[in-house]
Amino acid sequence: MSSYLSFDIAHLRAYYQQGTLRPSELVREVYERIAQNGVTPVWIHLPDRKEAVRRALELEHDPASRALPLYGIPFAVKDNIDVAGAPTTAGCPKYAYQPQVSATVVRRLVEAGALFIGKTNLDQFATGLVGQRSPYGGCASVFNPRYISGGSSSGSAVAVARGEVSFSLGTDTAGSGRVPAAFNNLIGLKPTRGALSTAGVVPACRTLDCVTVFTHTAADADLVYQTAAGFDAADPYSRRPGPGDGAAPWLRGAFRFGVPKPSQWEFFGDDGARDLYAQSIERLKSLGGEMVEIDYAPFLAAAQLLYAGPWVAERLTAIQAFAEKYASEIHPVVRGIILGGASHSAVNAFDAQYKLAALRAATLDEWRKMDVMLLPTTGTIYTRAEVEADPVRLNSKLGHYTNFVNLLDLAAVALPAGFRQNGLPFGVTLIADAWTERALLALTDRMHRALGGRLGGTEAQVEETPALSVTPAATRCVEVAVVGAHLSGQPLNSQLTERGARLVRTTRTAPGYRLYALKETLPPNPGPAKPGLVRDATFTGPGIELEVWAVPEDAFGSFVALVPAPLGIGSATIEDGSSVKCFICEQYAIAGSLEITQHGGWRGWLRSRAQPAA
């Protein structure tokens, strides 16, 4: 078993398919690794090994289970998320209770074949970004025991980084699903609020909380997300995306990424982090991104509202009865933060909502400049001793680039971005509109592979794992091929660009197509000349040049409504054999029209018209 270096999902699925590994054997290996690394402080609750093996045997003895997407994949759960049969402590032994049913996300993962291993440590009541505020002990970065692991989802991140499980669940209100990823060289997916159900999760700030996913690769995070996501009537904050929500045409073509103006960079004296951030900017440029400078001020102002504003009162609301009766059982730093929520009034709450609305409007001006934002996940990292000596102020610094994301209803993915000279990891975060998490993961995968290197703290390498394939579904767009007046630089191209469409590629149709300049649009008729594309199964030609554009789903209808007869939108076959939505022409309209197939496309014909007669 020691030869199985990588616990990423792709490797484990390959082992199972090859017959070189069974789930029960894997569980035994998991427990051996945990024993070698030490149960505490990462794990709060581990089921009996025999019970875990028994569940794995049940899975492998069921032939139908082999088709499940997460068959035999081990995972950990942050101990503020319910798992039936395991106590939930939220990092506070006195608070512990025994849930009868699992949280919705856990149930969906188990039904998909995933193997629950145990409950992991956290900053108590999910209050903190440091991973040190727990009676079960403070976790450390897998790269140096003197440094913090990040929190509050500390144990969940370390369990993955140590190669004990393939993925883990955390939560994120202020950055808890991202900061531990940065400090442990992992992918940290913080999806849209309401995309993953919070039913069965001990709330921190119920209106902002997200269930998050830690993995070694973006492809693994995408698989776990697709498996666990979906509307849940048991969660009043669960949401469904509408048509066009999260449209990311930028993923299919050129994209602009925003970075703060250099005067707004804040690394708290960490020059190594500054250099690695600059390298990440260059890396994203090399992948086709255009860097644009933005004003980070409104985002930072929103971030500062999270703990300075009345959202702290939500933390008290979640455990008020317990906090009033058992205040002495709460970690002193956590107690000070949570009980401080009592000082806020309804007036404070409304005033903060007004400020947030104004800041959100200001950030929209910045979003018009960019498609995605690239930020440091944190400006720096601290030792455990430093955090112990100055817990609140240093925690606040760690939230400098994270605290605004849930308040502004954005999606984010944290990813590795290299190592400082002292061996400590650095991470960056890609951020975009709500419901763009799958598009962000696709871009994350490209950045991660461009960086290369090890997975978490293991010896396995990114290059050994399969890339995440990009599909139009991930962008919430419809791909439309245009052949004439809608081509780049042509008179009607603005009908695409004003709807946020992006050019994906230039290609050609399959051979069996003819192109005509429609008689009714040729001079002396007013308006731009228009082509008619017609399929002819008896014809073998050069193929017709076309452009494929990604059109946001919610803009597709208004675009189609502009298409006049005899044109329409149908499907066409392109030279690689695939099918795409495309402008087509009714057969009757070609009578008397000028065939221009021999020119290879609309631009070729226009060039021929511009040339002087011989």
**Residues identified as active-site:** 78, 152, 176
Please list, in sequence order, all residues whose beta carbon lies within 8 angstroms of the beta carbon of residue 417, skipping any fewer than 6 positions away: 276, 277, 279, 280, 426, 427, 428, 451
Phi and psi at residue 155, to the nearest 5°: -65, -35
Phi and psi at residue 454, to the nearest 5°: -80, 160
CA distance 152 to 129: 5
Cα separations in angstroms, 439 against 5, 253, 473, 506: 29, 12, 9, 22
Q: Is 384 helix (H, G, I), strand (E, B) or coil?
A: helix
Tokens of 314: 């939500």
CA distance 184 to 424: 9
Please list, in sequence order, all residues whose beta carbon lies within 8 angstroms of the beta carbon of residue 145, skipping any fewer than 6 positions away: none
Positive or negative: CA dihedral 588, 591, 596, 597: positive
CA distance 169 to 188: 10
CA distance 531 to 534: 10
Query: Which helix (H) or strand (E) covers residue 502, if one does?
Result: strand 502-508
Give the single-character DSSP code of 190: E
* Residue 551, strand partner residues: 478
- Cβ atoms of residues 476 and 435 within 8 Å: yes
Q: Is 78 helix (H, G, I), strand (E, B) or coil?
A: strand
CA distance 481 to 314: 50
Cα separations in angstroms, 337 against 133, 313, 402: 12, 9, 18
Ramachandran assignment for 343, one of left (phi > 0), alpha (psi -120 to 50 degrees), beta (any other): alpha
Give the single-character DSSP code of 548: E
Within 10 angstroms of residue 13's Cβ, the number of other Cβ atoms is 18
- Provide the CA 504 distance to its chain's centre, in angstroms: 21
SS3 percent helix, strand, coil of the chain, rounded to 5, is: 40, 20, 40
Within 10 angstroms of residue 539's Cβ, the number of other Cβ atoms is 12
CA distance 178 to 440: 14
Tokens of 345: 């009034």
* Residue 210, strand partner residues: 172
